[in-house]
Amino acid sequence: MSPVVKQKTDQISGHSLAIIAETLYLLNLLVLPGLAFLVLLWLYIKYEHTSQLAGCHLRQAFSASIWAGLILILVIGVILLAGGYNAPYIWVIVILYFSVCHSTLVLLGIFALVKALAGQKFHYPLIGPTS
């Protein structure tokens, strides 16, 4: 095997890492919460400084995952603590809040995945780091 081929198989390209990072963000929101975040954390720690594209998407997906968890879990907890569990209107508020916020976070993740597939950088508005 030539050295060029061996080098390509040993490393993940920045484009592939960007796609994987955004896919893990969506998996964390939709299918495997927690587990996908741990894999994203591992990739973030290991590959953040490999390329500009990968670093951008890893930072954005990692930060957005943390903010998504805080936005969804903590705010709903505060709403339930403030209003109680027994009031039907509180559950309407919780369900509406979760539906709107979760859908928005998923759509932002889809936009980020499309940008990663195109090989472009993406910045999550409000929840992504500025650097």
With respect to residue 2, please indicate whether it lies within any of the assigned structural domains.
Answer: no
With respect to residue 128, please indicate whether it lies within any of the assigned structural domains.
Answer: no
With respect to residue 69, please indicate whether it lies within any of the assigned structural domains.
Answer: yes
With respect to residue 4, please indicate whether it lies within any of the assigned structural domains.
Answer: no
Q: How far apart are CA 33 and CA 27, in angstroms?
A: 7
**Residue with the larger pLDDT of the pair 43 and 5:** 43
Q: What mean pLDDT is reported for the chain?
A: 88
61 and 22 Cβ atoms separated by less than 8 Å: yes
With respect to residue 6, please indicate whether it lies within any of the assigned structural domains.
Answer: no
Q: How far apart are CA 97 and CA 95, in angstroms?
A: 5
With respect to residue 77, please indicate whether it lies within any of the assigned structural domains.
Answer: yes
What is the structure's pLDDT at 9? Answer: 38
**pTM, whole model, 2 decimals?**
0.85
With respect to residue 124, please indicate whether it lies within any of the assigned structural domains.
Answer: no
pLDDT tier for residue 7 given thresholds of 50, 70 and 90: very low
Residue 42: which domain range? Answer: 15-117
Give the model confidence (pLDDT) of 62-80 as tens digits: 999 999 999 999 999 999 9
- In angstroms, what CA-CA distances link 68 with 4, 25, 26, 129? 40, 10, 11, 13
With respect to residue 22, please indicate whether it lies within any of the assigned structural domains.
Answer: yes
What is the structure's pLDDT at 120? Answer: 92
Q: Tell whether the model's pLDDT for residue 91 goes beyond 70.
A: yes
What is the structure's pLDDT at 131? Answer: 61
Give the total number of structural domains in the chain.
1
For residue 96, the surrounding DSSP H or E stretch is helix 88-117
